[in-house]
Amino acid sequence: MSRSLRRAARAAAGALALAGALVPSAAASGADRYVALGDSYSSGTGTRSYVEASCQRSTRAYPALLAAARSGTSLVHRACAGATTSDVLRDQVSSLTRGTRLVSITVGGNDAGFAAVLKECAKPAWASDCAGAVAGAQRYIRGTLPGRLDRVYGEIAARAPAARVAVLGYPRVFNGEDCNAVTFFSPDDERRLNATADLLRDVLRTRAQAHGFAFGDVLPGFVGHAVCDRVEWLNGASTPLSESFHPNAAGHRDGYLPVVRRLLG
C-alpha cells in the first residue's frame, strides 16, 4: 500500500471512530432504562415515606435503591399499591419500550386477595374462618392466577423484548407467634398463611421461568426477620392500616435489594 493510501485509510478509520463516539449505539442509549412494575411490595408501601401518595411510591423501595446503585440508570417507577395483574396490564405496561433494558415486578398477591385473607385470619377464632379464606386463596393461586400471570409476562416480553426481567416473590410474613395486641393469629393460622406464601412463590417461579424471566426468591432472606422477630423487616399491625404486613425500609434494603441486584446487576 502506498504512503498516500495508508494516510487515507488512517483518516477514514479516525473519522469512523469519532462518529462512533459522538453517536451512541441503540443498545448503549437504552441500556440503563429501568421500569419497575407491580404492586405495593414494589411501590414501597410499608416504608412510611412516599414521594407519590396514591400509589405509595417510595425512594426507600427496592426499585429506587437499585437505580441509585447503578450509575446512570433511569428509573420509571410504575408500581402501585393495590395493583392486580389487570391493573398492571391497564395502567403500567404502557411504560415499557423496545429500549427498556431492565424490568422488575411483584404481582399476584392482590389477585389472590391476600389482604382480605389476612384481615379474616386476624379476627378472634370464634369470629374467623381463616382456614376457609386460606383455602379459597390457594385454589385461586393454583387454578386462575397462572393464566393471569401469563398475560402480564407475555405483554412484558412483547413490549420490551431486549429487557432483563426479574420477577420477585413475597416473603413469609409470620414466625409462628403473634405479638400484636390487636390481632389474633393462631400458630395454625400462621402456618397456613406461610404455606400460601410458599405456594405463591412456586407458581410465580414456574410461570416466570416459562417466559424466560429470572425469578427472585426472597423467602430465604427474610427468615429471622418476620413479624414479631427481634429484627423485623416486615411491619405488623400498623397505623395507618395500609402499612401492615409490608416490608419496611430495612426489608427493601436488606431483603429485596440484594435479590434484584443479583438478577439485574
pLDDT digits (tens, 9 = 90+) for 206-219: 999 999 999 999 99
Number of helices and strands (H, E) in the chain?
Answer: 12, 5
252 in active site: no
Q: Which of 40, 42, 58, 128 is catalytic?
A: 40
Q: What DSSP character marks residue 90?
A: I
pLDDT band at 265 (very low <50, low <70, confident <90, very high): confident
For the cut 90, the answer to whether the pLDDT of residue 238 exceeds it is: yes
Residue-wise pLDDT tens digits, 50-73: 999 999 999 999 999 999 999 889
CATH architecture of 32-264: 3-Layer(aba) Sandwich (3.40)
pLDDT above 60 (res 24) = no
Rounded CA gap, 104 and 80, in Å? 13
User: What is the rounded average pLDDT of the residues 214-242?
Assistant: 96
Say whether pLDDT at 142 is over 80: yes
pLDDT of res. 23: 29
pLDDT of 32: 83
| Residue 77 is among the residues annotated as catalytic for this protein | no
Give the orientation angle of helix 145-159 with respect to helix 187-210, to 10 degrees.
40
The pLDDT value recorded for residue 3 is 40
- The SS3 assignment for 52 reads strand
- Quote the mean pLDDT of the chain: 90
Q: 208 is written with which cell numbers?
A: 416466570
- Mean pLDDT, to the nearest integer, of 187-196? 98
For residue 125, the model assigns a pLDDT of 94
Q: What is the Cα–Cα distance from 93 to 46, expressed in whole angstroms?
A: 24
Name the pLDDT band for 1 (thresholds 50, 70, 90). Answer: very low
State the residue for C-alpha cell 399491625: 237
Cα separation, 214 vs 235, in Å, equals 27
**Residues facing residue 77 across a β-bridge:** 36
pLDDT of residue 9: 40
**What's the mean pLDDT in 228-251?**
96
pLDDT in the model for residue 27: 38
What phi, psi does 57 have (nearest 5°)?
-85, 140
Kindly tell me if the per-residue pLDDT of 156 is higher than 80.
yes
Which has the higher per-residue pLDDT, 20 or 147?
147
3-state helix, strand, coil in the chain (%, to 5): 50, 10, 40
Overall average pLDDT of the 171-189 stretch: 96
Q: Distance (Å, rounded) from C-alpha 53 to C-alpha 249?
A: 16
CA distances from 228 to 170, 223, 243 (A): 17, 12, 15
239 or 140, greater pLDDT: 140
- Which one of the listed residues 42, 43, 58, 246 is annotated catalytic? 246
Which among 114, 110, 115, 107 has a CA at the least distance from the CA of 151? 107
Are the CB atoms for 65 and 257 separated by under 8 Å? yes
